[in-house]
Structure 1
Amino acid sequence: MNVAINLYTVRDLDEPLLDVLDRVARAGYDGVEFAGVEADPEDVRERLDGLGLAVAGAHVPIEELEEGFEATADRYRALDCERVVVPYLDEGAFASLSSSEQTARRLDALGGRVAEQGFDLNYHNHDHEFVDVGETTGFEAFVEHSAVGLELDLGWIEAAGANPARLLERYADRVSLLHCKDTRSGAPVELGEGDLDLGTCLDAAREADVEWLVYEHDAPDDPVESLERGVETLRGRL
């Protein structure tokens, strides 16, 4: 499995993106997952190539995908990015069986348009998708009626009170990107310091043949230290 970092983790660094990529490579990551690209894509691609970093994927707001995907496609195609990820939909998208099924239809339709441009579409969960809707959850109802890929976020699943490893086993054929994040009582903490059973989750990731483990911390006290500790923790457990 390859190890990447979602660059949302280091969003508060007052540094140009190209310098941030230098940090990522020095820390020992195999690649990055973008959360916006605030630099010329050609310059970014050149720096990535020079550093030997691959692009695991890119988080792109659904409004950008639905309203102007041609421009978005050009940007990420220049980066040799093959996967785009819808990073968030609000609570209403999963509040009932009908809304979850409607969300599935919406993302499947978008997935078809994204595929025409040469990309795979994935959805990244938080915790609010796991609300009870009858005998299942909004997330499971969505997955049952959708064909898009899943970027499971282990920390948010843990925060929701669900079982991350079990969900990974259940949806193994849908997951190529796995967000490795930890939480304690619902609050983000450094990986390995919270409630997440990381070892069991990584065993499930191996069995699922997950391609990318993507480290993320939503609110690190020190982004640089978190960047370095994230890859050390994952490498140490693999």
Structure 2
Amino acid sequence: MKASNSRRVFIRQVGLAAASVLVLPNLGCLVDDKKRIGIQLYSLRDEFSKGVENVIAEVSKAGYSWVEGYGYSVKNGFWGLTPTQFKQLLDKYSLTSPSAHYEFSEWEKTGNDAILDAYIAAAKTLQQKYIVVPFINPQIFNSVESVKAFADKLNKASKRLEKEGLKLAYHNHDFEFKQLGDKTAYEILVENTLPSIDFELDLYWAVRAKQDVLKLFKTYKGRFALWHVKDMDKVNPQKNTEVGSGSINFESFTKEAKLSGLKYPFVEQENFDINPYESIKISAKRLQNII
């Protein structure tokens, strides 16, 4: 093809592309939304025995860009992969891992900083931004004093992580919302932790505990940088379902995402009535439409 013809074809193609943006403005939004969607890999825990790479490949195929790991140990890494091997696998499928859940029960009991050091090393290898406390002894939330004592421990850990360029976050279930006087244990925890500590708000558990999520956003502006987005089955509230198929009005929350400080939303589903890979595709598409 002659150069002059090539140039005319190029200009015409650029013009058509520009026109398509005007006709279909949502295409650009959809691409941006895909970059903002993650999944907590605990959702697919039953699939890992069939091969870690297969799970990661399916997650990428489903439209996610981030993954949140879980279950790390110095001995077994992530499902038998070292942090370096896991990072290489994520790179292969164009995924990143901004955060992971790391077990803190032993650290909470002993204060052994060697545990933190191991987590820091893994997180830095994966280029993560957050180390997340996924679960802790529920008895801690039985009194104001024990909640404050736990907050002090988290503050110390946060200072250690900050020196390494990392942030600490805490993930809730429902037991943190126990009423202790005129506040819930969760509110006491948020109020007694350093502003540098963020919270991964599990929306399902907060709603199940009958909390006013929007009030939390307004009261503790900017503290909820991470969300777990999983829907509540309309018939059995103890079960999860695909985002948009249950009883939780996520749009009311996403409208106030900026107020909450949201940076990383993660789909999570702990049980499935359909093929899990089909399920996570459905949730990804629906969350992309409202985030």
Work out whether the TM-score is over 0.5. Answer: yes
Moved over 3 A (4+): 63-67, 206-209
Q: Is 1:44 aligned to 2:86, yes or no?
A: yes
* Per-residue CA distance 1:194-227 (angstroms, 9 max, x = gap): 2211110111114444111110012223322222
Structure having the higher strand fraction is: 1
Instruction: From 93, 112, 130, give the equivalent of 2:159.
Output: 112
Following superposition of structure 1 onto structure 2, how do residues 214-229 of structure 1 map, counting pairs within 5 Å? 214-221=266-273, 222-229=275-282
Counterpart in 1 of 2:54? 19
Counterpart in 1 of 2:170? 123
Report which structure shows greater RCO (CA 8 Å, sep ≥6): 1
Higher mean C-alpha displacement, 49-58 vs 60-69: 60-69
Query: In 2 relative to 1, CA 17–168 (structure 1 residues): closer, same or farther, beyond 3 Å?
Result: farther
Counterpart in 1 of 2:254? 202
Counterpart in 1 of 2:67? 32
Counterpart in 2 of 1:161? 210
SS in 1 for 2:245: coil
Query: In 2 relative to 1, CA 100–209 (structure 1 residues): closer, same or farther, beyond 3 Å?
Result: closer
Q: Distance in 2 between matches of 1:19 and 1:64?
A: 32
TM-score by length of 2: 0.76
Q: Distance in 1 between matches of 2:215 and 2:229?
A: 15
Instruction: From 175, 190, 193, give the equivalent of 2:242.
Output: 190
Q: Mind listing any 5+ residue stretches in structure 1 that lack a counterpart?
A: none
Q: Contact conserved, 2:98 with 2:127, CA < 8 A, in 1?
A: no
Q: Distance in 2 between matches of 1:121 and 1:190?
A: 28
Q: Distance in 1 between matches of 2:259 and 2:94?
A: 27
Q: Contact conserved, 2:177 with 2:186, CA < 8 A, in 1?
A: yes
2:210 is matched by which residue type in structure 1?
A: G
Query: In 2 relative to 1, CA 145–209 (structure 1 residues): closer, same or farther, beyond 3 Å?
Result: closer
* Per-residue CA distance 1:57-99 (angstroms, 9 max, x = gap): 0000114655422222222211111211000123211112112
Query: In 2 relative to 1, CA 217–5 (structure 1 residues): closer, same or farther, beyond 3 Å?
Result: same
Could you tell me how far 1:180 is from its partner in structure 2? 0.8
Q: Distance in 2 between matches of 1:205 and 1:15?
A: 36
Could you tell me how far 1:18 is from its partner in structure 2? 2.4
SS in 2 for 1:61: coil
Greater Rg by CA? 2
Q: Is 1:99 aligned to 2:169, yes or no?
A: no
Question: How many matched pairs?
Answer: 238
2:96 is matched by which residue type in structure 1?
A: A
SS in 1 for 2:50: coil
Query: In 2 relative to 1, CA 47–77 (structure 1 residues): closer, same or farther, beyond 3 Å?
Result: same
Q: Contact conserved, 2:40 with 2:67, CA < 8 A, in 1?
A: yes
Counterpart in 2 of 1:4? 38
Higher mean C-alpha displacement, 51-60 vs 38-47: 38-47
SS in 1 for 2:84: helix
Higher mean C-alpha displacement, 167-176 vs 22-31: 167-176
TM-score by length of 1: 0.92
* Per-residue CA distance 1:20-75 (angstroms, 9 max, x = gap): 11111111111111113121222221222232212120000114655422222222
SS in 2 for 1:123: strand
